[in-house]
Amino acid sequence: MADSSRRDALRRIALSGTVLGGAALTAKWAFDPGGFGLSQAEGERQVRDFRIHTKAPGQDNVFAIAKSSTDPAELVRRAVDAMGGMKRFVSRGDIVAVKPNIGWDRMPVHAANTNPLVVAEVVKLAFDAGAKEVIVTDASCNEANRCFQRSGIWRAAYGLGATVILPSAHRFRDMRMKGEVLDLWPVYTPLVNADKVINVPVAKHHNLAKFTAAMKNWYGILGGRRNRLHQNIDVSIADLATFMRPTLTIVDATRVLLRNGPQGGNMDDAKDMHQVIASLDQVAADAYACTLIGEHASNVKYLKLGHERGIGNMNWAELPHVEV
Amino acid sequence: MEPELNGGDFPSPIPWLGKAGKVPPLDRVATPESEAARIGEPQLIQIRKSKSPVRDKDARHGAEMRIFASANRPKSDAPTRDVTRAVNAASAPATTTNTGGPRAPTQTKKPKKKLPGSGIPARKVIRSLVWVRRAAQVGFVSLFLFFLAHTAFRGTFAASSSEPVRLPLPVEGFLLADPFVGAMTLLSTHTIYRGLAWGLVVLALTLVFGRVFCGWICPFGTLHHFFGWIFPSRYLRGTRRVESNKTHWWQAGKYYIMWGFLGAALVGSSIGGLLDPICVAVRTIGLGVIPALQYFGVRSATVIANSNVRALQSASDGAQDVLARTVWTANQSYFHQTWLIVFFLIAILFMNRFIPRFWCRALCPLGAFLGVVSRFALFGMEKDHAKCTDCNLCLVNCQGADSPQGGVKHRQDECHMCLNCENACPEDVIKFRFLPKRTSTIQKPDLERRTLVAATAAGAVCIPGMRIANWPDKAYSEKVIRPPGAVEERAFLERCIRCAECMKVCPNNALHPAFFEAGIEGLWTPILIPRSGYCEFSCVLCGQVCPTGAIQKISEKQKMGIGQKPIAMGTAMYDHGRCLPWAMATPCIVCEEFCPTSPKAIWPEEVEVPKRDSKYQKEGEQAAMLTIKVQRPHVDPSLCIGCGACEKVCPIVDKPAVYVTNAGETRSKTNVILLENTRYGQS
């Protein structure tokens, strides 16, 4: 058998050299130094700020309470008009995310979710103000299809041409909020990717936090195992309210759950109150609304935290406001 | 250039294989001998395998094979004499050219659309019926998959909030029309539950046309038809396919299986659902294939979504939204121990490689049931044996392995009525018609009476045998939490056919196929695993889709207990050693928040508890003792319905601090905790 030619030898050496080089490159590219990668939260808190900074001419109200009607839609219109009208908040061509509370498989009469008539009116006002798209969505606690259908919100919003998005796993992306107790959490993208966000919570009793409305409604932007939050519910709520700064908060207090919150389930647990609060300040809105179930803001710890953090003002009576 | 080729004489790389490793250079002139040794020999072996080459002379596949062989073989090749003669009829030009070189294209061209032999085409009605059958098969498989994909509640914008939540389609339709399920449950419960009366339609079809259900309708049969066509494409050709499509003794197996299951039904167990083809199809595709598709689909979409290109992300989101509303559901479903279910599917599908439609021929109890009934069928086959040339084209295309060929009697009980044999027959032998002469058919399954009795008896004895091992009356396992509206365990086993409809429809992925939790007899019956998902308070969909009434069709009012006692599946219990407020002085109470009953079955007790500070205030001192307020949860067993919401949301993930067992389930008269409260709901 003849020896290999020089050319052949060179070819074979070059081949093995290429393989070795390729392996070395792969090792360099995929090298893992070990450890856990992510460092703990540090630096500035993350904020998703959707607020508007223009003042309405002739008024500087922080919030408006509508209580002079029994028609939820009328109440919403009056409250929003008192704040300068929806055109102040929504510009032509905006994508507006409306975030009602669609947390539970309950009917409107149970007052565990936002009243569909209130949501519908907000959608309508946003479209009238020139919104390109109005997204209505929430990350529910109970099974989402059932919550959306049985709350009546799906039907009401869809009928007005809103985009109703049902939560599914792929709509959540991990985000670092850098809060005190909340850092890396899956966040519901439709709510943070919009141009304007309108928070439309329902005011109700909560067994652990005593009372919840606007600030607690941001639980619905989180995925993952939210049940851990209850160990420090007040700080979690404050962290979320720090992260999410909505364009406008419209608290639905047309029918308020007085006990057995947050889920209710018994018609006798809820009472008609016929009020809607439109507010620039989520803390003030909650501070006023908690008086409806006989709580005082100073007893609701997350309101105090929000006040201290400068998210808003819990002394609602001192703020410029109007009743319509 | 290449020293190896020029040197020629080098040691063989694998000496004990002789010259096997040596590849002759391409430019060397091949001698006829070496050519025959290289190409002709293996094919000759194949040809000799067929028992009667002369009879085979017109078999389409056989002819093709020999044309190829003869084209490469010199004329003087003595051992292939009989074969060459056989080829003459099919393709005359093949024998005239024998260069041994590359084949000329004209040599292999067969006259198209002309059948061999006499070439008498099948009747036009048969030729079109074969296409109608194919369309029906595609249609029924599509319908089945459509129903299966819609065995899930996806909500609708059109419904008002007070409308009860129901599925709009009869998604369990195929199971309702399954007469074997009907017969089984009739024997076990002495009743025919609601929609199971649809089985009469399939029974009537069989009495008129024979086993058309198997050949035309059955989605699982069509799946096997498809895989029997795809899988063996290279492996099962010609003679081998003909042999595998002849009637075999083991085809009687399905009858013994069926009689065994009917025996089991007689003593009170619908365990036959384990092998009922519709149940198998729902279970394997619904619990295995669809979740697997979703898993891979979502993984691929996630890769796209991680690209950080906005357009790609929204395309991926849009695609996933569409798929979540049509094929799968918004959240990935996982099913307890489905590996065995899926392994079973893969195994029986793979059997098609060796024996087409092995499942239908050897195992299917529904096919056997229809086979027994089909002896009374009005429609059937007539054969004119005298005209048969033994071309075996009918056998090549046979689905049921029912002896369509001449010289033997046709097996009416095995025939799927696919009409392939008459469509393929070139000699005017096979005729399907109403009220055929029965001189050349066997209607009854070819069974041995003793084996039949033994199989039935074995099935009947099996059930008490399994129940001694896992006695259902004594709450064999606390993990057997049956769906809401399930009947008492014995009645449940009489009815449950393990079709997995309830598990597929469960919106929270709460219902799972039991492995051995419910005893060996309870394999693949539904159990609630709250760790995976809880029972949605107002949901009654499992009862809606249950075809046999193992889960009754309860109303929301019954389930939620509006004006009556609610239906309880079990009771929640606390593990005080693991509960945050009970053991670790940490506020939590998520269980109470999720408890759906009103008043809540979980009630909190506010207490002040000591808690050691987690950090030292001063160097060298003990950590301070603090006092904090926590709410400790308690269960009111008279209100708890065992839905498992508390267990699902408990933040102690691995082994939750609150867990549900089947204690106090409404359906049981023995597994009770409390003295009955007959004045429920009255103050």
In the stretch 125-164 of chain A, residues with CB closer than 8 A to chain B read: 141-146, 148-152, 154-155, 158-159, 164
- Residue contact A168–B158, C-beta within 8 A: no
Give the separation between CA B73 and CA B340, rounded to whole angstroms. Answer: 51
Tokens 């102690």 correspond to what residue? B652
pLDDT of B680 reads 57
Give the separation between CA B202 and CA B213, rounded to whole angstroms. Answer: 7
- Residue contact B161–A232, C-beta within 8 A: no
In the stretch 80-99 of chain A, residues with CB closer than 8 A to chain B read: none
Give the separation between CA B669 and CA A79, rounded to whole angstroms. Answer: 57
Coil, strand or helix at B603 = strand
Contacts of A232 in chain B (CB under 8 A): 587
B584-625 confidence digits (pLDDT tens): 999 999 999 999 998 899 999 999 999 998 888 887 788 889
Give the list of residues 6+ apart from residue B606 with CB closer than 8 angstroms, or none. B629, B630, B631, B632
In the predicted structure, residue B539 carries a pLDDT above the cut 90: yes
In this structure, are residues B381 and B412 in contact, taking their beta carbons and an 8 Å threshold? yes
CA B612 to chain A, closest CA, distance in angstroms equals: 16
Task: With a threshold of 0.90, tell me whether the complex ipTM lies above it.
Answer: no
B416-446 confidence digits (pLDDT tens): 999 999 999 998 899 999 999 888 889 888 8
In the predicted structure, residue B7 carries a pLDDT above the cut 50: no
B584–A contact, CB cutoff 8 A = no
Give the list of residues 6+ apart from residue B657 with CB closer than 8 angstroms, or none. B574, B575, B576, B578, B579, B580, B582, B583, B650
Query: What is the average per-residue pLDDT within B111-131?
Result: 81
Q: pTM to 2 decimals?
A: 0.84
- Residue contact A1–B3, C-beta within 8 A: yes
Of A146, A164, A170, the CB nearest to B165: A146
In the predicted structure, residue B280 carries a pLDDT above the cut 80: yes
Q: Best mutation site among A119, A170, A205, A236 for testing chain B: the one with the most B CBs within 10 Å?
A: A170
CA A208 to chain B, closest CA, distance in angstroms equals: 7
B546-593 confidence digits (pLDDT tens): 999 999 999 999 999 888 889 999 999 999 999 999 999 999 999 999
Nearest to B476 by CA among B662, B259, B204: B662
B311–A contact, CB cutoff 8 A = no
- Residue contact A208–B593, C-beta within 8 A: yes
B638–A contact, CB cutoff 8 A = no
State the DSSP string of B495-525: H-----HHHHH-TTS-EEE-SSTTTTTTTT-
Query: What is the average per-residue pLDDT within B350-370?
Result: 95
Tokens 């083991």 correspond to what residue? B250
A165-188 confidence digits (pLDDT tens): 999 888 888 888 888 888 889 999
Contacts of A135 in chain B (CB under 8 A): none
Cα separations (Å) of A119 from A134, A157, A211, A276? 11, 7, 21, 11
In the stretch 147-166 of chain B, residues with CB closer than 8 A to chain A read: 153-163, 165
In the predicted structure, residue B678 carries a pLDDT above the cut 70: no
State the DSSP string of B37-80: IIIIHHHHHHHHHSS-TTGGGG-HHHHHHHHHHHHTS-TT-GGG
Half-sphere exposure of B532 (CA within 13 A, CB side): 19
**Angle value at C-alpha B180, between B178 and B185, nearest 5 degrees:** 105
Give the list of residues 6+ apart from residue B649 with CB closer than 8 angstroms, or none. A227, B534, B590, B591, B593, B594
In the predicted structure, residue B451 carries a pLDDT above the cut 90: yes
B10–A contact, CB cutoff 8 A = yes
A168–B contact, CB cutoff 8 A = yes
B141-165 confidence digits (pLDDT tens): 999 999 999 999 988 888 888 888 9
Contacts of B653 in chain A (CB under 8 A): 225
Q: Which helix (H) or strand (E) holds B4?
A: helix B3-7
Of B7, B301, B507, the CB nearest to A143: B507
In this structure, are residues A258 and A205 in contact, taking their beta carbons and an 8 Å threshold? yes
